[in-house]
Amino acid sequence: MVQLALIDPGLTTATDWQAAAQRRADVRIVDAATADAVVVAKLSDVTRALTDGQHVLLCPSAVTSVADAEGLANSDGPIVMLASVDRFSPSIEQIHACIVGGQLGNPGLLRIHRWLPDTGNIDSVRLVAEFDLANWLFGSLPCDVYAVHRGGSGAYAHAHLGFPNGSMALIDVAITLPEGDDYFSLSVIGGDGSAYADDHHNMHLVYGGGQPTAHRSGEGVTGLVNLLGEFVAAIDESRPALPGPTEARAAQLVADAARQSIDAGRPLALAETGDAYELA
Amino acid sequence: MNSPDHDSVFRCAVVSVVKHAYVPNGVEVHPRFELVVVCDDADQPDWVHERNQLYADEHEIPYVRGIEEAVAAHDVQVAVISSEAERHCELAVRCAAAGLHVVQDKPMSNRISECDRVVEAVAAHDVRFMMWNRNFLPALVEAKRVIEEGGIGKPYAFHVDFYFAKDSGPPRGSRGPDDPPINWLERQIEAHSDGSDGGVGVDPMGELKIEGIYPLAYIQHLAGSRVERVYARTASHFHQANLDNDVEDLATVTLEMENGVIGTLCIGRIGAASHPDIGEIKLHVLGETGGLVISEARPEVSVYYRNQPPLEFRHRRMAIDLDYQLMEDFARAIDTGGGGILDAVTSREIAATVQAAVDSGKSGRVETVA
């Protein structure tokens, strides 16, 4: 049983964490004083928790650079996991399972649209999360990164990634939707098949006069439940939890390359060391 | 009531029809266009003459081996060109020189210099030109309406997924160590039976050249902006014929357009197993005050039944008025001297964008559109 304290739940509400924990027999939400694991949203809280011997679920927005991610490395002792729910959402889990199971063949193309109402800053949160998904689904860092953006405040960013064996990805993130629902779609084209997770497919219609309005069937807290499952399993098995500091560093590395590409107007290529990007 | 001039019927010559015949079949949907003759150059190979003859026989019109002779003998005003890709522009230039308006199948050409010849010929002889396109599909008409009515504010990003869930001969990796590479033209001739011969011609073409005009025409139609820079990734991911001939069957393209507008394209011939219908074809448009998600296939009707053939589409497009509207637009262009939905200049710009994408896929660099 993991005794989890919500020190700072970040963008996910405490209510959702509570709801997710209620669906698991191996997690209980407790006060900080009795916790053996914590949810935090600041790097300083990570240090404090690790010193106290507590496992950590870190809200991804806390990590804004490669150095931040490297600072989380903790080879021994308590586990540090990013509380990034994207990998664990039911739709994306299914697509990942299809890739790993070989049903789609060699993945050749990934397309992600992530459109949000104005939530502040794309770079520090969303684009990095999509890069983590891309790295995870292809199982490697991209070998080429090209990116463009629009709007001085970074209201829109688009990244064009090349992966080994000719695979590729297009990712765009916008924070220009009006207040209200967001939109997400992710598709994978493989050598033997394709898969689509698309909000467009999951809309219901409401007729209240004039044009109907569309309402999405969401995935509830299932993604958070699945995330807690990985966290608990990693603790039980004394192994790194995924995504952890290594994956956070990889996503930040791609984000850095994207920023450089936007500035230079040119693509960057993964260096021979496999650990840095340079202008192509 | 239309004026008498605007009711006249245009007599059309089908100038080579070696592909699946959706273009001449689409032309004759409109009551103002009448197919009166099929023609081609006499020195064409036998398989070309056979297909031309078959189409002429099916439509009970003559087949003439000699284009200029056919035009002179049959009082023709419009040429409908659906030859091998590398002949498209040469035929269009000759027909324009004969004073014919031209409807041409995709691609415009596999060489930009040929496209330039068409632009010059159309202007010099004051005839109208239309590349066949899909801009009047119901979903595109709806997208255009929403944007023009300000439903998403000023649009700034256009994304198109354009996948054809078709096979194209043996899959990648199927060639034995002693087998010769697949000959492109032979493969395309063989593919005629199942309608997957969109790349028919001697010169191999990837999906960007074969189908790219459709999604790029969508973006041009909706954005009205010229593409300036292109970055692309390309791969021969699915089909042995593409791998053997060094042409892509999967590509992603980033388009940087005038006024800071951004576009992207995913395109591929992704195999019949990848989708229950023709393929996932979607448009995503972002505006300054909203977003638009469009399924190009809709409206459609779903049909399922026992013993349904595996490759029969379960979701069938319907209420498609594309052919009529294209030809209505072309008739209007002829009547008024206007440019029409996809004229020679715009088609040439799209062909140049395609070429820049192909070049970028090979160079790994951002390419400027010529």
Same domain, A42 and A179: no
Contact (CB<8Å) A178/B271: no
CATH code, domain with A44: 3.40.50
Tokens of residue B347, six digits = 């088609």
What pLDDT, on a 0 to 100 scale, did the predictor assign at position A126?
A: 73
Q: For the segment A35-74, what is each residue's pLDDT rounded down to a tens digit?
A: 999 999 999 999 999 999 999 999 998 999 999 999 998 7
Chain B interface, best mutation among A114, A186, A194, A202, by max B CB count within 10 A? A194
What pLDDT, on a 0 to 100 scale, did the predictor assign at position A155?
A: 87
Tokens 């066949």 locate to B132
Which residues of A make CB contacts under 8 Å with B?
106, 108-109, 111, 113, 115, 144, 146, 148, 150, 156, 158, 160, 162, 166-170, 172, 174, 176-178, 183, 185, 187, 189-194, 196, 199-200, 265-267, 269, 280
Same domain, A110 and A147: yes
Determine the distance in angstroms separating the CA of A265 from the nearest CA of chain B, rounded to an integer: 8
Residue pair B168/B239 in contact (Cβ under 8 Å)? The answer is yes
The partner residues of B256 in beta bridges, in order of sequence, read: B229, B262
What pLDDT, on a 0 to 100 scale, did the predictor assign at position A246?
A: 96
What pLDDT, on a 0 to 100 scale, did the predictor assign at position B4?
A: 45
Chain A interface, best mutation among B252, B283, B288, by max A CB count within 10 A? B252
Same domain, A57 and A122: no
DSSP-derived secondary structure letter, B287: E
B174-181 contacts: CB < 8 A, separation 24 or more? Answer: B174/B240, B175/B240, B175/B244, B181/B244, B181/B245
What pLDDT, on a 0 to 100 scale, did the predictor assign at position B311?
A: 84
Same domain, A115 and A64: no
Same domain, A76 and A181: no
What pLDDT, on a 0 to 100 scale, did the predictor assign at position A121?
A: 59
Q: A48 lies in which domain range? A: 2-84+222-244
Q: Determine whether B90 is exposed, middle or buried from the number of CB atoms within 10 Å of its CB (0-12, 13-18, 19+).
A: middle
Cβ atoms within 10 Å of A272's Cβ, excluding its own: 8
Listed as ranges, residues in chain B with pLDDT below 50 are 1-4
Selection from B99, B51, B272 nearest residue A193 by Cα: B272
Same domain, A21 and A128: no
Tokens of residue B86, six digits = 């590398």
Q: What mean pLDDT is predicted for residues A73-101? A: 93
Domain B8-127 falls under CATH 1.10.10.10: no
For chain B, what is the total number of helices (H) and then of strands (E)? 12, 15
Q: For the segment A148-181, what is each residue's pLDDT rounded down to a tens digit?
A: 998 766 789 999 999 999 999 999 999 999 999 9
CATH code, domain with A273: 3.30.360.10
Out of A167, A170, A267, closest to residue B364 by CB = A267
Integer CA distances (angstroms), A248 to A64, A152, B285, in order: 9, 26, 30
DSSP-derived secondary structure letter, B10: E
Number of domains, chain A: 2
Integer CA distances (angstroms), A123 to A63, A128, A129, A159, A265, in order: 11, 7, 9, 12, 17
Residue pair B37/B75 in contact (Cβ under 8 Å)? The answer is no
ipTM over 0.90: yes
What pLDDT, on a 0 to 100 scale, did the predictor assign at position B58?
A: 97
**Can you tell me the distance from the alpha carbon of A14 to that of A26, in angstroms, rounded to the nearest whole number?**
18
Tokens of residue A34, six digits = 């009795």
Same domain, A157 and A207: yes
The amino acid present at B150, given as its one-letter code, is G
Average pLDDT taken over every residue of chain A = 94
What pLDDT, on a 0 to 100 scale, did the predictor assign at position B1?
A: 38
Q: For the segment A172-206, what is each residue's pLDDT rounded down to a tens digit?
A: 999 999 999 999 999 999 999 999 999 999 999 99
Chain A interface, best mutation among B174, B227, B230, B274, by max A CB count within 10 A? B274
Q: For the segment A211-260, what is each residue's pLDDT rounded down to a tens digit?
A: 999 999 888 999 999 999 999 999 999 999 999 999 999 999 999 999 99
Same domain, A31 and A45: yes
Same domain, A189 and A226: no
| Size (chain A), residues | 280
The partner residues of A25 in beta bridges, in order of sequence, read: none
Q: What angle do CA B159, B160, B164 make, to 5 degrees?
A: 160
Same domain, A65 and A165: no
What pLDDT, on a 0 to 100 scale, did the predictor assign at position B7?
A: 80
Chosen CATH of B138-368 out of 3.40.50.970, 3.30.200.20, 3.40.50.300, 3.30.360.10? 3.30.360.10
Same domain, A146 and A239: no
Q: What pTM did the predictor assign?
A: 0.95
Above 70 in pLDDT, residue A136? yes
What pLDDT, on a 0 to 100 scale, did the predictor assign at position B197?
A: 82
Domain boundaries, chain B: 8-127, 138-368
Q: For the segment B238-272, what is each residue's pLDDT rounded down to a tens digit?
A: 999 999 999 999 999 999 999 999 999 999 999 99
Selection from B48, B106, B111, B107 nearest residue B67 by Cα: B48
Tokens of residue A239, six digits = 């192994």
